[in-house]
């Protein structure tokens, strides 16, 4: 039962092959049995999950179903859940039980989903390895000596290990796609503004975007149907109409023009990973797509641009954590200044502090033009690269990451080398585009992800391409040995 996709679970629940309570019990039991080796969950609320499942079963019995009735999901611990701890992977929010639900949480609730728990993540979503969590590193189900990627590493590991059929994630510079690639699952980062950011704890507000992580493109489409839409409470929420994302899954790829950015296939890409991607591209060609050589000339500048803009926005967003209104507060502050500085010293981890300091520097008097304004100008050049490509092609394709999962601790002492892990994913956030990572093979037993990048609001096309690819490959159906035990 634990290996079923969301689509299969929906069918099984409708046909009364099993109940939501049975599915939920099975997954809760698996989490209890297996998650000690992954650490993918921060909070599991079994009683609440089972109560939701029982209520879902009653609705199913009465025929009052909504799209995801009775489907268990896990939420990244960045989405505020009313009355349930929402830590954002930080000591700062270890004691924080929000007074309201994020819009995404409400949407899943309204669609009938059951919440298994909250998944582990890099602190405040700042990281590419899930090692910066206050709750400890998450381990990759394919090799527990390696990282799952980050920052949505807990969501990726939980889905890969069949502890949850699907999960939410957020992506500021690759945080859905990179862990999806390293854990062998399918993840979608929607267009900026497509999914509400209300109640999604802010890291970099002009880059952050929530999205689905699941075991197939079809499941991502089903989840996006629940998540997408305009939210008047999020001032950057897009008002573009929301299509039914499953409608075009079955379309033929005949005539599709796929651009291959040559900068994504140059030095720095692991050779074996590159071969997996080439094989995947041949599969798209076999389905009728045409491959076109294109260029994103400012690719090398995406890392420095991102590492000014994201920390600058983070330093502003994280100024709200002051030890006064909620979250951590230091003991016995001697004055207000001591309260602020010691609360923040104790509450934030090293990487978060580094980014706040870099961001504060980039925004400070005398440096603003040289850093922040400059980065915002280069950001436009980066976006224009994509605009030019999309005059010629329908989507772009390439690797999600330079190589497969690296070892725990391998890069954690070297922030800059960790930042370079995101070389193929950052530009998409800077340009606000939708993109996916789709399982496309293995290197030494570790998954490789194919990245697909689309035009603004063209999620349907990405899902269509990914689904057609998955109809003719079985990489997304592979399961790690470490998840073979446990209840089923």
Partner 1 sequence: MAIDRNEIEKIAELARIRIADGQMDDVTERITEILQMVDQLQAVDTGSIEPMANPLDAVQRLRPDVVTEVDRREAFQAIAPAVEDGLYLVPKVID
Contact set for partner 1, span 442-461 (CB under 8 A): 456
Q: Clarify whether 106 is annotated catalytic.
A: no
Cβ 264 to partner 1 shortest distance, Å = 19
Cβ 307 to partner 1 shortest distance, Å = 5
Q: What angle do CA 450, 453, 457 make, to 5 degrees?
A: 140
* Site for partner 1, residues 368 to 397, rule: CB under 8 A: 370-371, 373-381, 383
460 within 8 A of 394, measured Cβ to Cβ: no
All residues at 6 or more sequence positions from 392 whose CB lies less than 8 Å from its CB, including other chains: 257, 259, 292, 294
Contact between 103 and partner 1 by CB under 8 A: the answer reads: no
Task: Identify which of residues 140 and 237 has a Cβ nearer to partner 1 in the complex.
Answer: 237
Alpha-carbon span 222 to 226, nearest angstrom: 7
Alpha-carbon span 127 to 153, nearest angstrom: 10
Among 42, 176, 77, 123, residue whose Cα is nearest residue 354: 123
Which residue intervals of 324-373 are DSSP H helices?
Answer: 336-347, 350-363
Task: Identify which of residues 259 and 349 has a Cβ nearer to partner 1 in the complex.
Answer: 349
* Site for partner 1, residues 123 to 182, rule: CB under 8 A: none
Task: Identify which of residues 359 and 447 has a Cβ nearer to partner 1 in the complex.
Answer: 359
Q: Which stretch binds partner 1 (CB under 8 A): 61-69, 125-133, 210-218, 337-345?
A: 337-345
Q: Which of 430, 436, 465, 483 binds partner 1 (CB under 8 A)?
A: 430
288 within 8 A of 253, measured Cβ to Cβ: yes
Task: Identify which of residues 254 and 391 has a Cβ nearer to partner 1 in the complex.
Answer: 391
Q: Clarify whether 235 is annotated catalytic.
A: no
Q: Which of 128, 129, 175, 482 is catalytic?
A: 175
All residues at 6 or more sequence positions from 386 whose CB lies less than 8 Å from its CB, including other chains: 296, 396, 427, 431, 433, 453
* Site for partner 1, residues 255 to 314, rule: CB under 8 A: 300-301, 303-305, 307-308
Alpha-carbon span 29 to 274, nearest angstrom: 38
Cβ 355 to partner 1 shortest distance, Å = 9
Cβ 128 to partner 1 shortest distance, Å = 15
All residues at 6 or more sequence positions from 479 whose CB lies less than 8 Å from its CB, including other chains: 3, 160, 162
Please write down the HEC assignment for all residues of 205-231.
Answer: CCCCCEEEEECCHHHHHHHHHHHECCC
Contact between 60 and partner 1 by CB under 8 A: the answer reads: no
Task: Identify which of residues 24 and 315 has a Cβ nearer to partner 1 in the complex.
Answer: 315
34 within 8 A of 161, measured Cβ to Cβ: yes
Q: Which of 151, 196, 437, 460 is catalytic?
A: 151
Alpha-carbon span 197 to 201, nearest angstrom: 8
Cis peptide before 227 (omega within 30 of 0): no
* Residue 270 φ then ψ, to 5°: -60, 135
Cβ 446 to partner 1 shortest distance, Å = 27
| 293: helix, strand or coil | strand
* Site for partner 1, residues 341 to 360, rule: CB under 8 A: 341-342, 344-345, 348, 353-354, 356-358, 360
Task: Identify which of residues 160 and 198 has a Cβ nearer to partner 1 in the complex.
Answer: 198
Q: Which of 338, 387, 477, 478 binds partner 1 (CB under 8 A)?
A: 338
Q: Clarify whether 319 is annotated catalytic.
A: no
Contact between 336 and partner 1 by CB under 8 A: the answer reads: yes
Q: Which of 17, 58, 64, 235 binds partner 1 (CB under 8 A)?
A: 235
Alpha-carbon span 12 to 72, nearest angstrom: 13
Give the residues across from 258 on adjacent strands: 291, 395
Q: What angle do CA 113, 115, 118 make, to 5 degrees?
A: 145
Cβ 114 to partner 1 shortest distance, Å = 25
Report which secondary-structure segment, H or E, holds 117.
strand 114-119
Cβ 242 to partner 1 shortest distance, Å = 16
Q: What angle do CA 111, 43, 122 make, to 5 degrees?
A: 95
Number of shown-chain residues binding partner 1 (CB under 8 A): 71
Cβ 217 to partner 1 shortest distance, Å = 24
* Site for partner 1, residues 208 to 227, rule: CB under 8 A: none
Task: Identify which of residues 88 and 111 has a Cβ nearer to partner 1 in the complex.
Answer: 88
Print the binding letters for residues 180-199 with partner 1: x by CB under 8 A, - otherwise: -----------xxx------
Task: Identify which of residues 64 and 341 has a Cβ nearer to partner 1 in the complex.
Answer: 341
Q: Which of 76, 118, 189, 411 is catalytic?
A: 76
Cβ 58 to partner 1 shortest distance, Å = 29
Intra-chain end-to-end CA distance of the chain, in Å: 5
Q: Which of 50, 51, 55, 97 binds partner 1 (CB under 8 A)?
A: 97
Q: Which residues are catalytic?
A: 76, 151, 175
């Amino acid at each position: 039962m634990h290996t079923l996709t969301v689509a299969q679970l929906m069918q099984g629940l409708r046909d009364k092959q099993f109940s939501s309570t049975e599915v939920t019990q099975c997954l809760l039991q698996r989490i209890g049995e297996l998650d000690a080796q992954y650490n993918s969950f921060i909070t599991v609320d079994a009683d609440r999950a089972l109560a939701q499942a029982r209520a879902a079963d009653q609705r199913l019995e009465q025929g009052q179903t909504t799209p995801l009735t009775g489907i268990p999901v896990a939420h990244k611990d960045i989405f505020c859940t009313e009355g349930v701890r929402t830590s954002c992977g930080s000591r700062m929010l270890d004691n924080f039980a929000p007074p309201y639900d994020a819009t995404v949480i409400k949407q899943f609730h309204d669609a009938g989903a059951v919440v298994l728990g909250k998944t582990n993540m890099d602190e405040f979503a700042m990281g590419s390895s899930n090692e910066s969590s206050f709750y400890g590193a998450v381990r990759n189900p394919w090799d527990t000596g390696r990282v799952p990627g980050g920052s949505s590493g807990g969501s990726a590991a939980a889905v890969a290990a069949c502890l949850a059929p699907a999960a939410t994630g957020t992506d500021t510079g690759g945080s859905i796609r990179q862990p999806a690639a390293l854990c062998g699952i399918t993840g979608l980062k929607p267009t900026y503004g497509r999914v509400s950011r209300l109640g999604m704890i802010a890291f970099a507000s002009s880059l952050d975007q929530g999205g689905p992580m699941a075991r197939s493109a079809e499941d991502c489409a089903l989840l996006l149907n629940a998540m997408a839409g305009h939210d008047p409470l999020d001032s950057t929420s897009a008002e573009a109409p929301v299509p039914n994302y499953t409608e075009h899954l079955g379309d033929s790829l005949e005539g599709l023009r796929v651009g291959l950015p040559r900068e994504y296939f140059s030095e720095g890409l692991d050779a074996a990973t590159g071969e997996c991607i080439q094989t995947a591209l041949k599969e798209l060609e076999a389905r009728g797509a045409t491959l076109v050589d294109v260029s994103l000339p400012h690719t090398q500048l995406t890392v420095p641009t991102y590492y000014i803009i994201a920390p600058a926005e983070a330093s502003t967003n994280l100024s709200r954590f002051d030890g006064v209104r909620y979250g951590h507060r230091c003991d016995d502050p001697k004055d207000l200044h001591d309260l602020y500085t010691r609360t923040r010293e104790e509450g934030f981890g090293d990487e978060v502090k580094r980014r706040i300091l870099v961001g504060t520097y980039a925004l400070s008097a005398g440096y603003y033009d040289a850093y922040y304004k400059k980065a915002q100008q280069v950001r436009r050049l980066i976006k224009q690269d994509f605009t030019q490509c999309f005059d010629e092609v329908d989507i772009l394709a390439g690797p999600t990451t330079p190589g497969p999962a690296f070892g725990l601790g391998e890069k954690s002492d070297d922030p800059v080398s960790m930042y370079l892990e995101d070389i193929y994913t950052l530009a998409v956030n800077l340009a606000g585009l939708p993109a996916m990572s789709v399982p496309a093979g293995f290197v030494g037993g570790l998954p490789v992800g194919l990245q697909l990048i689309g035009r603004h609001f063209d999620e349907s096309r990405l899902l269509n391409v990914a689904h057609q690819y998955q109809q003719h490959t079985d990489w997304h159906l592979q399961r790690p040995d470490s998840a073979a035990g446990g209840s089923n």
